[in-house]
């Protein structure tokens, strides 16, 4: 029931959104809203909507924070995770969701991404990964595939791309997953699990940018780009049943990392107890 969801969780006064026709970001924003709705409605979780804070940086992705009807803060380029870290440490009871993009979180904000992952602080980071800097008109990003064209790669991109989920996992993230704009149900579930996870979670969601990335690289329109995701990105149940040969050229949609490790703000509470016990001696 998308219309009900819009009235409940979107700031309809501020819609329609600024994203181009065919952009995948609206789908991903909806996935986040559905995941939150499920957790609010779940009697065992009983997530308090008033305790949810949505944090974003700068770029196409980051406009999502302003459309979502929660406490929201649209910060500076690359710094969403750093702002979110301050929010979470100051008030650990808050459920802090970071909405960011491939450039925002893995280029200008890469340092904050890896260190938040290393600390295992309980943030949920959802990347709207469209392989391009869309807001500024189509420059290559850290996830633009090698050889692809961009306004700043007129002879083809010679950079090697990041896999953001693997980058976060390498930095110590205790929950990492990959979703896509096409795989709505799977992605929503991964975001829900990421929010539930006690520790740093990152869900790298492949968006589509037909306007700047798709057109320049002859990927077709939004439908063709979503079709590519359908054909090349495979949900876990099916992916793990495939042979190594079949997996070639295919990407997992599902969880990449899921481990238990002490969460930062919980450890901080213990640190305060230790400091106060020592001072009291």
Partner 1 sequence: MSKKAVLMQGNEACVEGAIAAGMRFYAGYPITPSTEIAEQCAVRLPQVGGKFVQMEDELASMAAVLGASVTGVKAMTATSGPGFSLKQENLGYGCLAEIPCVVVDVQRSGPSTGLPTSPAQGDYMQARWGTHGDHPVIALSPASVQETYRLIIRAFNLSEKYRTPVIFLMDEIVGHMREGVVLPGADELIINKRHISYHDGANKQCYYVPEGQYVPAMKPFGQGERYNITGLAHDVSGFPTGSNAVAGALYTRLMEKIDHNLDDIIRVEEYMLDDADTAVVCFGGTTRAVMSAIQEARAAGMKVGMFRPVTVWPFPEARLRARIHGLKRILVVEHNYGQMLLEVQRVAAERLPVEFLGRFDGTVIPPADILQKLREMEG
Which residues of this chain interact with partner 1, rule CB under 8 A?
11, 14, 49-51, 53, 55, 65-66, 69-76, 78-79, 82-91, 93-94, 111-112, 114-115, 268, 271-272, 274-276, 279
Say whether 203 sits in a helix, a strand or coil: strand
What is the Cα–Cα distance from 144 to 157, expressed in whole angstroms?
A: 8
In the complex with partner 1, the residue whose CB is nearer, 100 or 255, is 100
The minimum distance between CB 114 and partner 1, in angstroms, equals 8
Query: CA distances (Å), 125 to each of 4, 49, 75, 118, 241, in order?
Result: 25, 18, 14, 14, 29
State the minimum distance, in angstroms, from the CB of residue 85 to partner 1. 5
CA distances from 5 to 22, 47, 93, 95, 184 (A): 20, 16, 25, 20, 15
Q: Pick between residue 20 and residue 89 the one whose CB is nearest to partner 1.
A: 89
At 84 the three-state DSSP class reads: helix
> Residue 35 or 226: which CB sits closer to partner 1?
35
27 and 61 in contact (C-beta within 8 Å)? no
Nearer to partner 1, 93 or 245 (CB): 93
Closest approach, Cβ 164 to partner 1, in A, equals: 18
Give least dist CB 184 to partner 1, A. Answer: 25
Residue 168 in tokens: 């976060």
């Amino acid at each position: 029931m998308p219309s009900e969801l819009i009235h409940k969780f979107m700031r309809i006064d501020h819609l329609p959104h600024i994203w181009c026709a065919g952009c995948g970001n609206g789908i991903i924003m909806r996935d986040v809203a559905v995941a939150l709705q499920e957790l609010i409605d779940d009697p065992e979780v009983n997530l308090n909507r008033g305790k949810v804070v949505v944090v974003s940086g700068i770029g196409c992705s980051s406009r999502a924070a302003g459309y979502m009807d929660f406490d929201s803060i649209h910060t500076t380029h690359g710094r969403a995770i750093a702002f979110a870290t301050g929010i979470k440490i100051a008030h650990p009871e808050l459920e802090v969701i970071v909405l960011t993009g491939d450039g925002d979180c893995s280029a200008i904000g890469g340092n904050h991404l890896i260190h938040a992952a290393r600390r295992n602080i309980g943030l949920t980071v959802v990347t709207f990964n469209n392989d391009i800097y869309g807001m500024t008109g189509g420059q290559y990003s850290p996830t633009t595939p090698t050889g692809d064209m961009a306004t700043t790669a007129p002879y083809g991109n010679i950079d090697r791309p990041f896999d953001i989920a693997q980058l976060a996992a390498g930095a110590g993230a205790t929950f990492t997953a990959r979703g896509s704009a096409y795989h709505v149900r799977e992605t929503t579930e991964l975001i829900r699990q990421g929010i539930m996870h006690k520790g740093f979670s990152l869900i790298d969601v492949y968006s589509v940018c037909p306007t700047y990335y798709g057109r320049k690289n002859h990927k077709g329109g939004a439908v063709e780009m979503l079709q590519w995701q359908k054909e090349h990105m495979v949900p876990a149940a099916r992916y793990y049943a495939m042979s190594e040969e079949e997996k070639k050229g295919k990407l997992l949609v599902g969880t990449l990392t899921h481990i238990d490790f002490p969460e930062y703000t919980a450890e901080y509470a213990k640190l305060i107890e230790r400091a106060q016990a020592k001072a009291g001696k």
